[in-house]
A and B are shown apart, each in its own frame.
Chain A
Amino acid sequence: MTTRYTRDHEWVRQDGEHATVGITPHAAEQLGDVVFVELPAAGASFSKGQEMAVVESVKAASDVYAPVSGSVVEANAGIVDDPASVNADPAGSAWFVKLKLTNPAELDALMDDAAYAAYLETL
């Protein structure tokens, strides 16, 4: 499974026709202590770039955009109950949603590990 990244600091990990989406450790660190997460309901569908979730820290509220098009198969209730987990394990257990992909080819346009690391260097 490869992980891809957006310029808005979402990560997306493909598993066949499904993909898991979260925010990157860089995003979580920049936000500071996350206090609230709002996730879409299962069944909701999004096209690439649409606002999909909201993550709120003590200093900012930010939108999370759909990195690729798809419909929500599952939203992670764990991070709604424990928003601090987004700071603790953003790339792992604190995933936001699992999507059923409508256009898997969109993943090819996103950054891989090396490209994202290089992108962070430019910020």
Chain B
Amino acid sequence: MRYLPLSNADRAAMLATIGAQRIDDLFADVPADALNATIDLPPHRGEQEVERILGAMAAKNRTAASGPFFVGAGAYKHHVPATVDHIIQRSEFLTSYTPYQPEIAQGTLQYLFEFQTQVAALFGMEVANASMYDGSTACAEAALMARRITKRGRVLLSGGLHPHYAAVTRMNSELVGDTVTPMPLDPAGEEDIAAAIDDATSCVIVQSPDAFGNLRDLRPIAAAAHAKGALLIAVVTEVISLGAVMSPGEMGADIAVGEGQSIGNGLNFGGPYVGLFATRERFMRQMPGRLCGMTQDADGKRGFVLTLSTREQHIRRDKATSNICTNSGLCALAFTAHMTLMGEAGLRRLAAINHQRAIEAADALAAIPGVKVLTRSFFNEFTLRLPQAAEPIVERLAARGVLAGVPGSRLWIETPEADDLLIVAATECVTGEDIERFCSVLTSALEDLR
């Protein structure tokens, strides 16, 4: 029996039909220097041998669990209970794609409704969607939504917005012809962004805790935005913080977006993650993404149903509010499962532990000669100013088993004023011993390099 579906004669006949000489002719548009004709791979090996070789390669990675870990900057290591994994591995959940028939798959629709309810409650908003790809795309979609609502074309970015979020937002907004104005780098969280809002501004995007860890009071910014007819978009990259601080909704934000990875989801090498998106009821029809509602069927029984689908691309086509017509279903389920297990009281306790660990770490690090904590008001992340460039020090500490944080130069490329900054996160996974170890290797590294 022959397993190859096409013979050489079949291929020749197909090429002749479309007027090509060789299969390579079909790829003539690929630039020659992008083609790698000489991929140098060894010959095939047996399965055991491959496992041994790849295992040795994987062992070179330093994972978040392999030692003291203080890395954050938009992705946070939190404990995920084993129950979460058990729930999301149920095949009814694991194998299903985002629903399109409005009322099929009641189980999936119910957890999406619960997810939305949790996100709306966390953000202090009236309505949340069934999730976006990640925090940065949620941020970019929020800027486009503000454009639709205000019919204005200037996006103002805080200097404390995570630079990856700024980059994604800038790309999306500039592609539709909007102007994106970033504020200068703001490690201390002292910018006067309210003064930069003008009559052409569609939205002002402010992150809290910001990329340096600063907790920001959004209320005066909301008031200034509204006085000019602009919207305030609040960004939260560490959603656990909402167990401790005032919500964006309470502070007057019109749209709140964020990254939900911290609840229920591991670091996963940077993705897949789950974008959170919430807004006021009056802006609901301009919201992107999928939306699930609760209703009653003909017999008066509770049911869940996709709603306002007429905004979406599979119905509204080119007039849709967004070209997002999916969601991060499994990550949203993990979020919902973890959030349900914790409840409000559990989230508040978890937030308090995070804050306490960060205070302990900041106090210990501040005692090291030459190290200055720049962040005055923070949740579980803060920024250090080191007496020299942070990146070589981070490398040196990594070699000694401590992942110390994210150097400023890693996030703000070719920005000299960020070079001596080190962004340090301390979650509930950090122990007192981890903090001691961090301080001792940092102290000796600074002495060695002096």
A residues with CB within 8 A of B: 36, 38, 56-57, 59-61, 63
Q: Which residues of B contact A36 (CB under 8 A)?
A: 285
Output the nearest chain A residue to B151 by Cβ-Cβ distance: A41
Least distance between A36 CB and chain B CB atoms (Å): 7
Question: Which residues from 308 to 330 on chain B have a C-beta closer than 8 Å to any C-beta of chain A?
Answer: 310-311, 315-316, 319
Q: A59-B310, A60-B315 known; 11 other A-B pairs, CB under 8 Å?
A: A36-B285, A38-B285, A56-B310, A57-B310, A60-B310, A61-B310, A61-B311, A61-B315, A61-B316, A61-B319, A63-B319
Output the nearest chain B residue to A60 by Cβ-Cβ distance: B310
Q: Which residues of A contact B316 (CB under 8 A)?
A: 61
Q: Which residues of B contact A38 (CB under 8 A)?
A: 285
Chain B CB count within 10 A is highest, among A36, A60, A61, A63, for A61
Report the bound CA distance from A17 to B311 in whole Å. 36
Output the nearest chain B residue to A57 by Cβ-Cβ distance: B310
Report the bound CA distance from A63 to B320 in whole Å. 12
Report the bound CA distance from A100 to B130 in whole Å. 43
Output the nearest chain B residue to A41 by Cβ-Cβ distance: B151
Q: Mark B65-98, 1 if CB is under 8 A from A, else 0.
A: 0000000000000000000000000000000000
Q: Which residues of A contact B310 (CB under 8 A)?
A: 56-57, 59-61
Report the bound CA distance from A56 to B286 in whole Å. 13
Output the nearest chain B residue to A36 by Cβ-Cβ distance: B285
Q: Which residues of A contact B315 (CB under 8 A)?
A: 60-61
Report the bound CA distance from A58 to B285 in whole Å. 14
Question: Which residues from 248 to 264 on chain B have a C-beta closer than 8 Å to any C-beta of chain A?
Answer: none
Least distance between B148 CB and chain A CB atoms (Å): 11
Q: Which residues of B contact A61 (CB under 8 A)?
A: 310-311, 315-316, 319
Output the nearest chain A residue to B285 by Cβ-Cβ distance: A36
Least distance between A50 CB and chain B CB atoms (Å): 14
Report the bound CA distance from A36 to B286 in whole Å. 13
Q: Which residues of A contact B311 (CB under 8 A)?
A: 61
Q: Which residues of B contact A63 (CB under 8 A)?
A: 319
Output the nearest chain A residue to B320 by Cβ-Cβ distance: A61
Output the nearest chain B residue to A38 by Cβ-Cβ distance: B285
A-B contact pairs, 12 of them (CB 8 A): A36-B285, A38-B285, A56-B310, A57-B310, A59-B310, A60-B310, A61-B310, A61-B311, A61-B315, A61-B316, A61-B319, A63-B319
Chain A CB count within 10 A is highest, among B310, B311, B319, for B310
Report the bound CA distance from A36 to B284 in whole Å. 12
Least distance between B125 CB and chain A CB atoms (Å): 20
Report the bound CA distance from A59 to B315 in whole Å. 9
Least distance between A12 CB and chain B CB atoms (Å): 23
Q: Which residues of A contact B319 (CB under 8 A)?
A: 61, 63
Report the bound CA distance from A61 to B285 in whole Å. 12
A-B pairs with lowest CB-CB distance, top 4: A61-B310, A56-B310, A61-B316, A60-B310
Q: Which residues of A contact B285 (CB under 8 A)?
A: 36, 38
Report the bound CA distance from A57 to B308 in whole Å. 10
Least distance between A61 CB and chain B CB atoms (Å): 4
Report the bound CA distance from A9 to B311 in whole Å. 22
Output the nearest chain A residue to B311 by Cβ-Cβ distance: A61
Report the bound CA distance from A98 to B315 in whole Å. 29
Report the bound CA distance from A63 to B316 in whole Å. 10
